Structure 1
Amino acid sequence: MDRLTEMEAFASVVDLGGFTDAARKMGLSKSAISKHVSSLEARLGARLLNRTTRRVSPTEIGLAYYDKARQVLDDAGEADAMVTSMQSTPRGSLRLSATTDFGVNHISKALGAFLNRYPEINVNMVLSNRNVDLLSEGFDLAIRIGEMQDSSLRARKLAETNMRVIGSPKYFQDNGIPKRIDDLAQHKLLHFSNQSSGNSWKITSSTGEKRLIRAGGSLTVNDGQSLLQAAEAGLGIAYLPSFLYHDAVEDGRLKAVLPDLPVEQLGIHVVYPPGLYTQPKLRAFIDFLVEHFKGKGPESW
């Protein structure tokens, strides 16, 4: 006989206190339930139930076996439910956290195609340059750029982006082109205010040394798109990711300098709490993002 069916018959008898109710629950005859339990006892070589004319109760060994059997049956039920869930139509609400620059320039442009493909899903995207706590703040997933810090989260890589020093041709014509890292001290630098280093840049030198560059500038802002536009307007030099500057460099509006410096590459990941990937709506969105960003970066966007 099937081992799982034997366990289910025994557990049902214990749960309901008798063979009749267990048979009704499982849709079998009372004699079939009795045969399953007897077969289980014979296979184990132990009596699991005390049978009287009035009631049925588990023996001491039966009670210990019941605890393990119930756990196995619950796990099997969850496995069945997971498969059913994974094959169901993706639907429901997704709450997404994304960095402002990447969210505006790339995620928002991809959402139209995703929502057309999955009309029963709605997305609530929150743009923020801080790392939100997914569980406590109610987010299903987040887009993170740079080094992964929270090891408790699951992650899938979407792409990579390069960091480069850029400025407008007009700015370099008026102020000269920096040839070395030390030359940046003589230029106007555009600063990103959310950096932990304050109004300074952290750049890797040709020797691999991390250098902190401090220089004055007329603009400090917590938005990369604003820094990009300021660089295009000739207000100074910016240090930005390729997913922001790529089009401007291609069009000649901006120029990358200091080509001898090591190119810093940052990973772009989608992160989500463990166990949630089985949700059809989340799995559909993550798989869509992986497909959408395939072949993008680190330089070409």
Structure 2
Amino acid sequence: MDRLTEMEAFANVVDQGGFTDAAKKMGISKSAVSKHVSSLEARLGARLLNRTTRRVSPTEIGLAYYDRARRVLNDAGEADALVTSMQSAPSGLLRISVATDFGVNHLSPVLSDFLRDYPEITVNMVLNNRYVELISEGFDMALRIGELEDSSLRARKLTETTKRMIASPAYLEKFGRPQKIDDLNTHKLLHYSNQSSGSMWKITAPSGEKRQVRTSGWLSVNDGQSLLNAAISGLGIAYLPSYLYSDAMAEGLVEDVMPSLPRETQGIYAVYPPGRFTQPKVRAFIDFLAEAFAEKEGINW
């Protein structure tokens, strides 16, 4: 007889408290359940059940075997569900967290194509500029930019962006162009208040040395688009990723303040909760984004 069927019959007898109810649950005859359990006991060489006219209960050995058998049966059920899920069309609610500026400028424009491709998926995109806890806050995934914190989350790199100091031509004409990193101490530096490094810019010098510059200026804000607007208006120097400033630079609204510095590269990642397999809706969206952003590396935003 099939070993897994024997386990299932025995576990159902324990769960249901008897052969009759176990047979109903399995959709087979009472005698068939009895044969499966008897075959299991014979193969193991141990009595697993105490049988009386009124009730059936597991022996001490039977109880220990039941705990392990139930785990095996649960794993087998999960394996079957995994195959079914992976073959089915992605569907359901997909809840995403993304930074406001990236979500508005780059994620929103491609969502329509994704939803046309996957009509059984509905998307709830939450735009905010804080670090969300995916599992406790009920998110399926998030898009994160820059160095990832150590965590149990899984991550897939989608593309890259570069980070540069930018300012308007009017600002540079009025206050001059810094020639070296130390010159930044005399300039108006526009500060992104949500960055993990606090009120410090981490900059790589031409020599490769890592430098820190304390920011001080007329504006501190937790939104990258607002910092770009401030830089365009001539309020100071902003340190921003290329997905924000590339259009403004192409139009001549801002310039690279210190082009001699090495380009700082930041990864753009999809992060999602750990697990034995990725939900089809999450996997479909990550694959879609990887293709949508495939040519968006560096300054090509």
TM-score by length of 2: 0.87
**Structure 1 residues 76 and 173 mapped into 2: Cα distance closer, same or farther (>3 Å)?**
same
In structure 1, C-alpha distance between the alignment counterparts of 2:297 and 2:169, rounded to whole Å: 24
- 1:260, CA displacement in angstroms? 2.9
1:31-46 equivalences under 5 Å are 31-46=31-46
In structure 2, C-alpha distance between the alignment counterparts of 1:252 and 1:222, rounded to whole Å: 25
1:1-301 equivalences under 5 Å are 1-195=1-195, 201-214=201-214, 217-275=217-275, 278-301=278-301
Structure 1 unaligned segments of length 5 or more: list them: none
Pick which of 16-25 and 120-129 moved more: 16-25
**Structure 1 residues 136 and 58 mapped into 2: Cα distance closer, same or farther (>3 Å)?**
closer
- 1:145, CA displacement in angstroms? 1.5
In structure 1, C-alpha distance between the alignment counterparts of 2:277 and 2:141, rounded to whole Å: 10
**Structure 1 residues 220 and 3 mapped into 2: Cα distance closer, same or farther (>3 Å)?**
same
Task: Please say if residues 190 and 218 of structure 1, whose CA atoms lie closer than 8 Å, have aligned partners that are also in contact.
Answer: yes
**Structure 1 residues 175 and 60 mapped into 2: Cα distance closer, same or farther (>3 Å)?**
closer
**Structure 1 residues 216 and 117 mapped into 2: Cα distance closer, same or farther (>3 Å)?**
same
Query: Identity rate of aligned residues, in percent?
Result: 71
Matched letter for residue 68 of structure 1: R
Matched letter for residue 70 of structure 1: R
Pick which of 205-214 and 257-266 moved more: 205-214
* Cα deviation digits, residues 70-102 of structure 1 (max 9, x gap): 121122112222332333343333332211221
Pick which of 290-299 and 156-165 moved more: 290-299
Matched letter for residue 73 of structure 1: L
Matched letter for residue 287 of structure 2: D
Structure 2 unaligned segments of length 5 or more: list them: none
Pick which of 156-165 and 252-261 moved more: 252-261
Matched letter for residue 192 of structure 2: F
SS in 1 for 2:96: strand
SS in 2 for 1:156: strand
Task: Please say if residues 276 and 282 of structure 1, whose CA atoms lie closer than 8 Å, have aligned partners that are also in contact.
Answer: no
**Structure 1 residues 85 and 207 mapped into 2: Cα distance closer, same or farther (>3 Å)?**
same
SS in 2 for 1:137: coil
In structure 1, C-alpha distance between the alignment counterparts of 2:269 and 2:129, rounded to whole Å: 14
- 1:198, CA displacement in angstroms? 5.7
Matched letter for residue 144 of structure 2: R
Aligned-pair Cα RMSD in Å: 2.6
**Structure 1 residues 197 and 3 mapped into 2: Cα distance closer, same or farther (>3 Å)?**
closer
Task: Please say if residues 155 and 271 of structure 2, whose CA atoms lie closer than 8 Å, have aligned partners that are also in contact.
Answer: yes
SS in 1 for 2:70: helix
Task: Please say if residues 186 and 215 of structure 1, whose CA atoms lie closer than 8 Å, have aligned partners that are also in contact.
Answer: no
Matched letter for residue 63 of structure 2: L
**Structure 1 residues 133 and 215 mapped into 2: Cα distance closer, same or farther (>3 Å)?**
closer
SS in 2 for 1:139: coil
Task: Please say if residues 168 and 232 of structure 2, whose CA atoms lie closer than 8 Å, have aligned partners that are also in contact.
Answer: yes
**Structure 1 residues 50 and 224 mapped into 2: Cα distance closer, same or farther (>3 Å)?**
closer
**Structure 1 residues 257 and 58 mapped into 2: Cα distance closer, same or farther (>3 Å)?**
same
Task: Please say if residues 277 and 283 of structure 1, whose CA atoms lie closer than 8 Å, have aligned partners that are also in contact.
Answer: no
SS in 1 for 2:203: strand
TM-score by length of 1: 0.87
Matched letter for residue 24 of structure 1: K
Task: Please say if residues 48 and 58 of structure 1, whose CA atoms lie closer than 8 Å, have aligned partners that are also in contact.
Answer: yes
Task: Please say if residues 190 and 215 of structure 2, whose CA atoms lie closer than 8 Å, have aligned partners that are also in contact.
Answer: no
Pick which of 84-93 and 149-158 moved more: 84-93
Matched letter for residue 130 of structure 2: R
- 1:288, CA displacement in angstroms? 2.2
